[in-house]
Amino acid sequence: MTQHPQNAGESRLQRGQRALAEIDGEAGAKVIAALADIAPDFATYIIEFPFGDIYNRPGLDLRAREIATIAALTALGNAAPQLKVHIEAGLHVGLTREEITEVIMQMAVYAGFPAALNGLFAAKEVYSHLTDGNTAG
Amino acid sequence: MTQHPQNAGESRLQRGQRALAEIDGEAGAKVIAALADIAPDFATYIIEFPFGDIYNRPGLDLRAREIATIAALTALGNAAPQLKVHIEAGLHVGLTREEITEVIMQMAVYAGFPAALNGLFAAKEVYSHLTDGNTAG
Amino acid sequence: MTQHPQNAGESRLQRGQRALAEIDGEAGAKVIAALADIAPDFATYIIEFPFGDIYNRPGLDLRAREIATIAALTALGNAAPQLKVHIEAGLHVGLTREEITEVIMQMAVYAGFPAALNGLFAAKEVYSHLTDGNTAG
Amino acid sequence: MTQHPQNAGESRLQRGQRALAEIDGEAGAKVIAALADIAPDFATYIIEFPFGDIYNRPGLDLRAREIATIAALTALGNAAPQLKVHIEAGLHVGLTREEITEVIMQMAVYAGFPAALNGLFAAKEVYSHLTDGNTAG
Amino acid sequence: MTQHPQNAGESRLQRGQRALAEIDGEAGAKVIAALADIAPDFATYIIEFPFGDIYNRPGLDLRAREIATIAALTALGNAAPQLKVHIEAGLHVGLTREEITEVIMQMAVYAGFPAALNGLFAAKEVYSHLTDGNTAG
Amino acid sequence: MTQHPQNAGESRLQRGQRALAEIDGEAGAKVIAALADIAPDFATYIIEFPFGDIYNRPGLDLRAREIATIAALTALGNAAPQLKVHIEAGLHVGLTREEITEVIMQMAVYAGFPAALNGLFAAKEVYSHLTDGNTAG
C-alpha cells in the first residue's frame, strides 16, 4: 500500500477527489451525490478536508488510517452508515477481513461489548454484499 | 514487530502479564497496583481479557492494535489517563511519534476538533516526560 | 419570534402544553400519545420540565433555543427521532432551512463529519416530508 | 433471586453458558449464533467474560446487575439491540415492568430526555412481543 | 430501605429538598450552593425534577435508583464530580462498598475497561475521604 | 453582529486567522501556539477549516454559531477546555452572560443534568476570570 503521491499543481479538491475514489470507491461517491440537494458545500468540505488534507498526508499509510477510522467509528457507536463505508474502504486499501474483524473485536475492551457487537454485525452486512474476489480476507 | 508467541502450558493470566509488561511497561504495572486495595479482581480481569485474550491474538500485529486503541480513546474523549498509557504503549511497540500524532489528528474528522486537540495535548504531555531515546519519532 | 407570555394562574402543565403545541406541533403530540400505555407520567414530565419550565424562560428566544437543541442532538448523534422533531420545531419557530443546515454542518467541527452527515440526512428527510410553504428556507 | 452457585470443576465457558441461558434466554442464544460466521471467538469471549466472570460474581444479585445494565445502555443510547435483550433479561431475573420503566425514566436526569424516551420505546417494543404471563409487571 | 413517604400538602421543592438531603447529604447541598451566583434557577430545577419528581416516585427503591445512577455515570464517563456524589449517595441509602464496586466493575462490559477503571478510581477517592463507620462495605 | 465580509483575494488561512482573532481572541491564539511543537499542521487546519471555511459562511450569524457550539460542547461533556474558549468567544461576538447560561441550562433536557452542571461551572470559571466590563450580561 503506497501513499498518494501529491501532484504539484493539484488543488485540495482534486487531491481529495482522487483520494476519495481510491479509498471509498462507489460508496463515497454515493454519499457525495446524496448531499447535492441539501448541502452541496458540505460535500466539497468532505472531499477537501478529510480526503484532500488528512488522508493525503505522509507519515501514516492508508492501511493504518483505515484501522484508526474503523476503530473510532466502532467505538463511538453512533455512525453505522459511515462505519460500513469505512469497512469497505479498509478492504479497498488492502486490509483483510480478518484484520478488520480483529480491530472491531478489540473495541470491546475500550468501548464495551455492545459497541463491538454492533461493529461486527455491520462488518457482516458489508461482507455479505461483496463478491468474494480480491477483497476476501 | 512480531506477535507474542503463545506458550503451550501458559495460563491466560501469565500470557496477559507478559503482554502487559511488553506493551504498557511501567505504566501498566502502576494501574494494576492502584487497583489492589479497591478491586483486585478487576486487575486480574484487565490482565486476562484485554492482554491475555485480545492483544495476544494473531491476525493483527501490536502496532496495528495500538493504532486502533489510540484512535478509539482519542475519539471517545473521556479517558485521558488511558490514552496517555496507550500513547506510551504505541511507542513501546514501535510506532513513531509522527505516526501517533497522525492517528490523533485524523480523529478530528470522526470525532471533532476538540477530541483531536485534547488527544494531541495528551501526546505532548507523554512525549515531554520521555527521554529522547529509541522511542523518538 | 416572541417569547411565550406567562399567564399568572397557569400551571406548569398548562404552560408546557401551550409551548409544546407551538414549538413541536403535531410531532410533539405524537410523542406524548406514544407514551400513554408505557409511561404516562413521563409524558407529563416532558410537558412540564422541558416545555413548561425551560422553553418558557425569558432570556433566550425560541429561535436561539432551537438552534441550541439542533446543535446538541446532531452532536450527540444518538437521538435521530428527536433531532427530526426539533428540525421541524426549528422551522415552526422561524428558522429557515438554510439556518438549520448551517447549524448541522457546523457540528462537523465539534463532533466529527459522520455526526454532521447523519444530521444533514435527517434534515433532508424532514424537508422532503414537508410542503414547500412558508417554512421553506 | 439467588446468585448462581459456582460448581468447582466448571470452566469459565460452562459457567458463562449457564448464566447466559438463565439471564438472556433465547435472545442471548440468537446473538451467539449470529456471530458464528463472522467472529466465533467473540461469541466465546461474550460467554466467558461478561457471563462467566462478571454476572457470576457474588456481591451483587442478578436483579441489581440488570438494573445497572439497563441504566447504562439507556444512558449510552447507542446500543438499542442490546438494551432490548437486557430489558427482556431483566424480566427473566425477576424485575417487574414497572421497575424497568422506572430505571429507564430516571435516565432522563443523567443522559437527557431523548435517551430516556428511546429507552422507553425500546421497552414498549419488548413488552409488546411478550405474552402477558409471569413476566408482567 | 424505605421509599420517601409523600406528604399531602408538600410542594415539589419541599419534597425535593427532603430527598436531596437524605440521598446526597452534604455533597448535594454544596452543589446547590455553588449554583447560587451563576444559575440559582437551575438549583431549583435540580431539587424539583430529579429529587422532587423522580427519586420520590414509588416503584423503585432508593438503593435500586442509586445502582442505576452509578452505572449510568460510570458508563457515560464524562461526569466524574457527579459520579463521586452518587457513590457517596449510594452509601447513604444503604449500598455497601462491595455492591458499588461490583456495579462499577460491571460497566467494563457495557462501556469498556477505561470507563470502569475511572469509575473505580473515583470510588477509591470517595472511600478514602470517608471514615470507616456504618457506611463500610 | 455582522458576518465577516469576505475579501476577494484572501486565502482560507488569512480568512481563518481574521475570524479566529475576532471570535476567540487571546484564547484562540494560545491554542494555536500550544500546537507549535507537537502538530503545527493541525494548527493550520483549525484556522483554515473551522474558522476560514465554517465560521465565515453566510447564512448564520456568529451569535447563532456560538450558541450552537456552546450547546454542543456542553452536551458532549468531554471537552471542557474548548467549552471555556467558546463561552468566552460567545461573549466576544455579543452574547450576554444570561443568554449563555440559558443555553447551557437547556442542555439538561438533551444531555442530562450532570452535563449542564459541568457546563455551568465552566461558565462560572470563565466569568470569574473576566473583568466586568462590556462583556457582562
Tens of pLDDT along E79-105?
Answer: 999 999 999 999 999 999 999 999 999
Neighbour-count burial of A96, counting CB atoms closer than 10 A to its CB (0-12 exposed, 13-18 middle, 19+ buried): middle
Q: What band does C113 get if pLDDT is binned at 50, 70 and 90?
A: very high
Which pLDDT score is estimated for A130? 87
E119 and E66, same structural domain?
yes
Asked if the C-beta of A21 comes within 8 angstroms of chain E's C-beta atoms, the answer is no
Task: Tell me what pLDDT residue B1 has.
Answer: 36
C9 pLDDT band, cuts 50/70/90, is: confident
**Is residue C1 scored above 80 in pLDDT?**
no
Residues of chain E contacting D109 with CB distance shorter than 8 Å: 49-50, 54, 69
Residues 6 or more apart whose CB falls under 8 angstroms from that of C100 comprise: C70, C87, C90, C91, C123, C137
* Predicted pLDDT at C5: 52
The residue with cell 501458559 is: B10
Contact D50, D17 (CB under 8 A): no
Listed residue (B119, B113, B117) closest to B83, CA to CA: B119
Reference F82, options C119, B119, C117; nearest CA is B119
pLDDT tens digits for range B52-91: 999 999 999 999 999 999 999 999 999 999 999 999 999 9
Do D29 and D94 sit in the same domain of this protein?
Answer: no
Last residue of a domain, one of B57, B75, B92: B57
Q: What is the pLDDT of residue C3?
A: 47
> If DSSP states are collapsed to H, E and C, what string results for chain A?
CCCCCCCCCCCHHHHHHHHHHHHHHHHHHHHHHHCCCCCHHHHHHHHHHHHHHHCCCCCCCHHHHHHHHHHHHHHHCCCHHHHHHHHHHHHHCCCCHHHHHHHHHHHHHHHCHHHHHHHHHHHHHHHHHCCCCCCCC
Q: Are residues D122 and D66 in the same domain?
A: yes
What does the pLDDT look like over E2-17, one tens digit per residue? 444 556 678 999 999 9
**Each residue's pLDDT tens digit, D50-104:** 999 999 999 999 999 999 999 999 999 999 999 999 999 999 999 999 999 999 9
Per-residue DSSP letter, E59: T
B69: enclosing H helix or E strand: helix B62-76
Residue D5 lies in a domain: no
Q: In this complex, do F38 and B105 lie within 8 Å of one another by their Cβ atoms?
A: no
Domain match, C24 and C84 both: no
Does F1 map to a domain? no
Distance in angstroms (rounded) separating the CA atoms of residues F112 and B89: 35
Residue A27 has pLDDT above 50, yes or no: yes
E21: which 3 cell numbers? 438531603
Residues A88 and A132 in one domain: yes
- What nine digits make up the cell of B16? 496477559
Tell whether the model's pLDDT for residue F60 goes beyond 80.
yes
Judge whether residue E129 has pLDDT over 60.
yes
- pLDDT score for E136: 42
Spatial distance between the Cα atoms of F124 and F84, rounded to a whole number of angstroms: 10
Same domain for B66 and B40 = no
F2 domain residue, yes or no: no
What integer is the mean pLDDT of A78-91?
97
Q: Quick one: how far is CA D124 from the chain centroid?
A: 16
Asked whether residue D89 is domain-assigned, the answer is yes
Nearest to D41 by CA among A105, B44, B9: A105
- The number of domains in chain A is 2
Rounded Cα distance between A121 and D39, Å, is 10
The pLDDT of residue D86 is: 97
Rounded CA gap, A26 and C126, in Å? 26
Report yes or no: F42 at the A interface, CB cutoff 8 Å.
Answer: no
pLDDT band at E135 (very low <50, low <70, confident <90, very high): very low
| Interchain contact, B68 vs A64, CB within 8 Å | no
Chain E CB contacts of F114 below 8 Å: 73, 76, 78-79, 81-82
- Chain D residues close to A123, C-beta within 8 Å: 38
Q: What percent of chain E has pLDDT over 90?
A: 86
Mean pLDDT of A31-38: 96
pTM, whole model, 2 decimals?
A: 0.93
Assess whether pLDDT exceeds 70 at residue E75. yes
Cα distance between residue F85 and residue F126, in whole Å = 8
Q: D25-49 burial, b if ≥16 CB within 10 A, otherwise e?
A: eebbeebbeebeebbeebbbbbbbb
Closest CA to A42 of C69, C86, C102: C102
pLDDT score for B93: 96
| Same-domain status, F52 and F77 | no
- D62 contact C CB<8A: no
Domain assignment present for A1: no
pLDDT of B134 higher than 70: no
| Average pLDDT of the residues in C57-61 | 97
- Residue in D42, D73, D76 closest to A120 by CB: D42
Q: Whole-angstrom Cα distance, residue A68 to residue A83?
A: 11
Confidence of residue F130 (pLDDT cuts 50, 70, 90): confident
F24 and F69 inside one domain:
no
Span D97-107, pLDDT tens digits: 999 999 999 99
Q: E88 and E100 in one domain?
A: yes
- Cell numbers linked to A25: 470507491
Q: Name all chains with 3 or more CB-CB pairs below 8 Å to chain C.
A: A, B, D, E, F
> Does E42 touch chain D if contact means CB atoms closer than 8 Å?
no
Contact B107 A68 (CB under 8 A): yes
- Asked if B9 and B20 touch (Cβ cutoff 8 Å), the reply is no
Q: Find how far residue B1's CA is from the centre of its chain.
A: 15
Q: At D8, is the pLDDT very low, low, confident or very high (cuts 50, 70, 90)?
A: low
Q: Is residue A39 located within the same domain as residue A66?
A: no
Dihedral sign, Cα of residue D33, residue D35, residue D36, residue D41? negative
Among all residues of chain C, which has the CA nearest to that of F79?
C110
User: Which pLDDT score is estimated for F46?
Assistant: 97
What is the distance between the alpha carbons of residues C93 and C1, in angstroms, rounded to a whole number? 7
Q: Are residues D125 and D65 in the same domain?
A: yes
Q: What is the pLDDT of residue C131?
A: 59
Contact F45 A57 (CB under 8 A): no
Please indicate whether residue D130 or residue D67 has the higher confidence score (pLDDT): D67
What is the tens place of the pLDDT at every residue in C93-112? 999 999 999 999 999 999 99
Over the stretch F69-89, which tens digit does the pLDDT of each residue have?
Answer: 999 999 999 999 999 999 999
The ipTM assigned to this model is 0.91
CATH of residue A124: 1.20.1290.10
Q: What is the pLDDT of residues D9-65, one digit of tens each?
A: 789 999 999 999 999 999 999 999 999 999 999 999 999 999 999 999 999 999 999
Q: Whole-angstrom Cα distance, residue F51 to residue F18?
A: 8
Give which of E73, E75, E70, E80 is closest to E121, Cα–Cα: E80
- For residue A5, is pLDDT > 80? no
Residue C41 touches partner E, C-beta closer than 8 Å: yes
Task: Please say if the pLDDT value at position A4 is more than 80.
Answer: no
Please indicate, yes or no, whether residues C41 and C76 belong to a single structural domain of this protein. Answer: no
In a domain, B33, yes or no: yes
Query: All 3 cell numbers of residue A109?
Result: 475492551
**Mean model confidence pLDDT for chain B:** 91
Does residue D1 belong to any structural domain of this protein? no
pLDDT of residue D9: 78
Domain that holds residue E91: 61-137
Instruction: Using a pLDDT cut of 90, give the percent of chain C over it.
Output: 86
Question: For position F7, what pLDDT does the model report?
Answer: 64
Find, among B133, B131, B127, B103, the residue nearest to F38 by Cα.
B127
Q: Which residues of B touch F45 (CB under 8 A)?
A: 105, 108
Average pLDDT (C114-125) is 98
Q: Quick one: pLDDT band at residue C79, thresholds 50, 70, 90? A: very high
pLDDT reading at A134 higher than 50? no
Classify residue E2: in a domain, yes or no.
Answer: no
